[in-house]
């Protein structure tokens, strides 16, 4: 059986081919799944997709009409999939429920330190042999307060690093993580966390309840010199509201590895054609903002774990087994 994999990065391709070797043929495409590319999947019972695939109603109908029966998404997030439509079309959908939390947590800290210590500006200057320190003043994080919104596996890993810096720890989540409490984290309401934290990092999934969890009111509660980091999902932050605050001169730094309108932009080369997204174009002009293209997960360790889980998801589908990775069909309600 040939499996069709959409949105495969050049670094991923040999890892995917090696993982499926001896099991199935796999054809890797660098194009992302959307309305225009969905017809390519015709005749393929199993396809694999990336996090920025469009798996809305129209695409799912095209896939089902072409004979696709199983979708193996190579990511934890699944907000890009219309699960109700997939269930109506009798499509099996699986994701990767977990992979290395350290990849994302460490990158979140990379962004935090880069904006705090003005690393991008400094590197640009020294490349031009400008060795002045003007405008590069950062601050110690030791003794300051880190606010962690979402304290699951990634949030816990982020918290452990914050503890290593000697920071005070505030957390917000629907349930307390005992490991974070052991590190000294105090769970408080979101409003207090935002008001008291010098560094706020987001580690919650994108759900209807968390969409724009950092909107105008939340941003207004934050310290003027706070650092805001988002390595989770772009839709957690209201970009328009964030730009308004940045225009007002607020925040020491903002690090974004995700963006709410990143589909169709991230993972692609737009350097020769430019973009027509005015919000993103404005964001990257602020000297205290760093935007990266959804790369927090992108370590060899994490990618290999994602691919291994995808291979298991395919094997489970073919064997008629169910695992915690299966999203559709949904488990019957009690």
Strand, coil or helix: what is 242?
helix
Q: Which candidate in 156, 196, 260, 262 is catalytic? A: 262
Q: Is 211 a catalytic residue?
A: no
Q: Which candidate in 44, 74, 250, 294 is catalytic? A: 294
Q: Is 262 a catalytic residue?
A: yes
| Contacts within 8 Å (CB) and 24+ apart, 155-161 | 155/105, 155/180, 155/201, 155/203, 156/101, 156/180, 157/101, 157/102, 157/104, 157/105, 157/106, 158/105, 158/108, 158/109, 158/201, 158/203, 159/183, 159/185, 160/105, 161/105, 161/106, 161/109
Q: Is 294 a catalytic residue?
A: yes
For 62-80, give one letter per residue: b (16+ CB within 10 A) or e. Answer: bbbebebebbbbbbbbbbb
Helical axes 101-116 vs 119-127, angle rounded to 10°: 60
Q: Which candidate in 118, 233, 250, 260 is catalytic? A: 233
Alpha-carbon separation of residue 301 from 27, 56, 102, 109 (angstroms): 22, 30, 10, 18
Radius of gyration of the chain measured on its C-alpha atoms: 21
Strand, coil or helix: what is 112?
helix
From the CB of residue 15, how many other CB atoms can be counted at a distance below 10 Å?
A: 17
Alpha-carbon separation of residue 256 from 74, 209, 230 (angstroms): 21, 21, 5
Alpha-carbon separation of residue 334 from 85, 111, 250, 330, 331 (angstroms): 22, 43, 48, 12, 9
Instruction: Give 202's strand partners.
Output: 149, 230
Active site residues: 233, 262, 294
């Amino acid at each position: 059986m040939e499996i069709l994999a959409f949105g495969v990065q050049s670094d991923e391709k040999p890892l995917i081919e090696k993982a499926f070797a001896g099991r199935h043929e796999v054809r890797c495409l660098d194009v992302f799944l959307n309305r225009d590319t969905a017809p390519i999947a015709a005749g393929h019972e199993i396809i694999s997709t990336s996090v920025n695939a469009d798996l809305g109603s129209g695409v799912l109908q095209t896939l089902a009409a072409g004979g696709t029966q199983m979708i193996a998404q190579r990511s934890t997030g699944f907000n890009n999939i219309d699960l109700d439509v997939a269930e109506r079309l009798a499509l099996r959908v699986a994701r990767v429920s977990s992979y290395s939390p350290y990849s994302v947590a460490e990158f979140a800290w990379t962004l935090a330190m880069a904006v705090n210590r003005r690393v991008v500006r400094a590197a640009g200057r020294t490349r031009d042999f400008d060795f002045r320190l003007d405008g590069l003043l950062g601050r110690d994080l030791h003794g300051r307060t880190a606010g962690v919104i979402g304290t699951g596996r990634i949030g816990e890993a982020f918290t452990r690093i914050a503890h290593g810096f000697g920071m005070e720890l505030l957390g917000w989540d629907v349930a307390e993580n005992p490991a974070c409490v052991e590190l000294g984290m105090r769970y408080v309401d979101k409003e207090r966390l935002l008001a008291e934290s010098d560094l706020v990092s987001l580690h919650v999934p994108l759900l209807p309840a968390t969409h724009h969890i950092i909107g105008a009111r939340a941003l207004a509660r934050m310290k003027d010199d706070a650092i805001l980091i988002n390595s989770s999902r772009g839709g957690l932050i209201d970009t328009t509201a964030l730009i308004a605050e940045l225009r007002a001169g607020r925040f020491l730094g903002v690090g974004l590895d995700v963006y709410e309108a990143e589909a169709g932009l991230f993972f692609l080369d737009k350097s020769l054609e430019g973009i027509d997204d005015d919000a993103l174009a404005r964001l990257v002009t602020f000297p205290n903002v760093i935007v990266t293209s959804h790369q927090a997960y992108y370590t060899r360790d994490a990618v290999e774990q994602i691919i291994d889980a995808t291979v298991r998801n395919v094997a489970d589908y073919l064997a008629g087994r169910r695992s915690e990775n299966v999203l559709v069909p949904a488990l019957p309600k009690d």
